[in-house]
Structure 1
Amino acid sequence: MHPFQVDLQHGRQCPVSGHRPPHLSPPPPTILFNILSQKQHNNNNGSSSHNRNFSTSSEDSRQSWCHHRSQRHRLQQQQQLQQQLSNCHCEQQHLQTACRLKDPEVVCQAACTVLVKTICFTTSLPAFCQLPQRDQLALLHNAWVPLFILGLAQEHTEFEVTETRPSPPSSANSILKRILLSNDDGTERGQGGTGGGLERETSIPTLAKVHRLKASIQRLRSLDLSPKEYAYIKGALLFNPDVPGLQVPEFIEGLQQEAHRVLQEVVVTLHPQDQGRLTRILLTASFLQTIPQSLISELFFRPVVGQADLFQLMTDILLSPGAVPRDSVAAANESKWAKQHCQR
């Protein structure tokens, strides 16, 4: 027997030739081997799939976080915008709040003094007194508000306001009042169809209107105008040929041109280095004409005259002989330069 026969029969190969008999080849894979191999294959596939799923999950998570961050940023921007709009709305509501004078007794007395001096200034001008009475009233009605504001600035009249919150009438009372006080054509009785009730509502002083008024006064004070400059500014505003219904508009236009010419001479003489001063003065004067008459009437004179017509009172003072102290020192100092040039 070959020494390696037993070993070959036991399935061992020859250590010299390395030959393995055909009948001793490795047996085919068993069922257990297939199961174990399939499990290993599944584990490998599962690991690769897990890695791919983990990468996909990480990418999705990153995208989701970026989307959430972007959405949160947009939400914050929307909240900030809403807050700004809310603040702006609150500010607008605050500016539309009705107001009144803090110290009406003192301020109204000072305002009446300024108004009397304003009328005194106009009646101290010979050229104004030579105009037809109808033109005098038309010019005064058109210019008394800017003249009055100029007087407030020149006299350094200070005033402060405080908020008022009137209780609104009930809807039932408001409807009943409209029914009882309305005419057949729908207009309110006693108003002549001019909408007087609506005008009274819109003429209520508000913080925004008072702010514009105080801003115009501050602009005048910042110019540091001399008495001569004040006088000729008033003359240029008073003699306005564009007022409707004038009988002698050409003559009034000549007076306005003369006031502008002399104002320019005064500005150049007093401020030769300030070439833009005349422009600033004229712009400020034009801004005064945007202040509504109703604001001045309601704020400064309604506590004094009540429901009386303020301009009618001014007309009575203007037309009453001796009612205005024409020899007033303040008016004379203010208008003596205007007199000289209006007589030309």
Structure 2
Amino acid sequence: MLFPAGGNSASMATKTPEEKFGKCQCETYHSKSILYQILHKEHASETKRHQQHCNPHCSTRSKRCPCLDRRVVLRTPEAICRRASEVLLKTSTFIRNLPSFYHMPWEDQFVLIQQNWAPLFVLGMAQEGVDFDLREIPATSLLKKILLNQSSTAMNELGSSSAGASLAKVQKMKNLLWKFWDLDISAKEYAYLKGIILFNSECSVLKCLPYVQSLQQEAQKALMEFISTMFHGSLGRFSLILQLIKSLRDIDANAIEELFFRPVLGEATLNVLLLETLYIKPDWL
């Protein structure tokens, strides 16, 4: 068999609502004080235009929505970072146990790891049932920046280098975790899913692209046959799982690194650590 069937399936017996961070800042953004208007040099008509364009549900599509700037960190970093590191180790162990992966040139191994480690990690978090609480980082107020006589350049640098991860991107990951737990995926299904994600045939730069495509097709076929057997020929579950895989590929790798591994790695890069763990040695390492 191409993929091992080991591992524990994480089934969430009781589920709690997604963590809330209080009222959206957009809900209180409409009522601006005189001081606020002076600092922003805004006319009253601009307030009305903002009300029209800012979605009341804080849509991330709105460029002006202040929720885009909300940053979060783990509420209990010691415990969650340890569990995240365990998930990463199990993910690398899964890859090392696949001879088919090491039959490829190291260049292809490098590309597959670089592009797919983040969805593999989230899938591992789902399998291990790792949930986490968040704490929002208070943003430095505009008034405080002005009183401290910071230039606009310094303010931009401060905003771009703020600690923590984007709330919107982290919440997207949490929502995906709950969707996987709702499906109560088995250990074998997780194994096949990891194979489908790792052997990503969308990586067109691969030297062994036909080989990778065949491996992904093999994993998909195995998953489909397993689901058909376990669920009496119904393939609705198969379709749902494939949709989740597409969503996994949209997970932001930088948000994962900042939230779970920056407190542990410091300035080190997770990509390099993974490559060393998997014995992949590009010339620049």
* Aligned equivalent of 1:278: 238
Whole-angstrom CA distance in 2 between matches of 1:163 and 1:177:
20
What is the TM-score with the length of structure 1 in the denominator? 0.58
Correspondence for 1:302:
262
Which of 85, 103, 106 is the aligned partner of 1:130?
103
Aligned-pair Cα RMSD in Å: 3.4
Distance 1:298 1:82, change over 3 A: closer
- Cα distance in 2, alignment partners of residues 152 and 244 from structure 1: 28
Change beyond 3 A, Cα 1:130–1:82: closer
* 1:117 paired to 2:90: yes
Secondary structure of 1:88 counterpart: coil
Task: Give 2:180's aligned residue.
Answer: 220
Cross-structure match for 2:80: 107
Distance change >3 Å, CA 200–CA 271, structure 1 → 2: farther
Structure 1 residues 288-342: Cα deviation after superposition (integer angstroms, max 9, x where no partner): 1111111101111011101111111111111179xxxxxxxxxxxxxxxxxxxxx
The structural deviation recorded for 1:88 is 2.0
Whether 2:56 is the aligned partner of 1:88: answer yes
Match of 2:274 in 1: 314
Indicate the residue corresponding to 1:165 in structure 2: 138
C-alpha spacing 1:164/1:244, structure 2 compared with 1 (3 Å): same
1:231 to 187, 191, 196: 191
The verdict on how the C-alpha distance between 1:150 and 1:295 changes in structure 2, with shifts beyond 3 A counting, is same
Q: What's the CA shift for 1:174?
A: 6.3
| In 1: Cα distance, 2:189 partner to 2:174 partner | 20
Contact 1:95 1:206 in 2 (8 A): yes
How many positions carry a matched residue from both structures? 225
> Aligned to 2:232, what secondary structure does the other structure show?
coil
Matched letter for residue 216 of structure 2: Q
Query: Aligned AA for 2:132?
Result: F
Please tell me whether the aligned partners of residues 203 and 295 of structure 1 are also in contact (alpha carbons under 8 angstroms).
Answer: no
Is the Cα–Cα contact under 8 Å of residues 203 and 294 in structure 1 kept in the other structure? Answer: no
Cα drift, residue 274 of structure 1: 3.5
Distance 1:103 1:261, change over 3 A: same
Can you give the 5+ residue segments of structure 1 that lack an aligned partner in the other structure?
1-80, 179-196, 322-344
- The Cα offsets for residues 182-240 of structure 1, whole Å up to 9 and x where unpaired, read as xxxxxxxxxxxxxxx79965995222222111100011111111111101111011111
Contact 1:209 1:295 in 2 (8 A): yes
Note if contact 1:139-1:243 (Cα within 8 Å) is conserved in structure 2.
yes
Per-residue deviation, 1:272: 1.4
Q: Considering Cα pairs closer than 8 Å and 6+ residues apart, tell me whether 1 or 2 has the greater RCO.
A: 2
Cα distance in 1 for residues equivalent to 2:57 and 2:280: 50
Instruction: In structure 2, list runs of 5 or more residues that go unmatched.
Output: 1-48, 60-64
Q: Structure 1 residues 285 and 203 mapped into 2: Cα distance closer, same or farther (>3 Å)?
A: farther
Deviation at 1:271, TM superposition (A): 1.2
Name the amino acid aligned to 2:135: T
The residue identity in structure 1 corresponding to 2:102 is C
Counterpart CA distance in 1 for 2:111 and 2:163 is: 22
Task: Give the secondary-structure state (helix, strand or coil) at the position aligned to 1:299.
Answer: helix
- Aligned partner letter, 1:123: R
Q: Distance in 2 between matches of 1:304 and 1:174?
A: 32
Distance in 2 between residues matched to 1:260 and 1:313, nearest whole Å: 29
1:255 equivalent in alignment to 2:223: no
C-alpha distance after superposition, 1:27-52 (max 9, x if no partner): xxxxxxxxxxxxxxxxxxxxxxxxxx
Partner residue of 1:141 out of 95, 114, 117? 114
Contact 1:108 1:301 in 2 (8 A): yes
Residues 199 and 290 from structure 1, CA distance in 2 versus in 1: closer, same or farther, beyond 3 angstroms? farther
Aligned to 1:18: none
2:165 paired with 1:205: yes
Instruction: Please say if 1:241 is aligned against 2:201.
Output: yes
TM-score for the superposition, normalised by structure 2: 0.70
CA distance in 2, matches of 1:269, 1:198: 55
Counterpart secondary structure, 1:319: coil
Report how far residue 245 of structure 1 moved: 2.7
Name the amino acid aligned to 2:174.
K
Offset of residue 96 of structure 1? 3.8
Mapped to 2, the partners of 1:175 and 1:95 lie a distance apart of: 20
2:110 and 2:280 in contact (8 A); partners too: no
Q: Distance in 2 between matches of 1:212 and 1:175?
A: 31
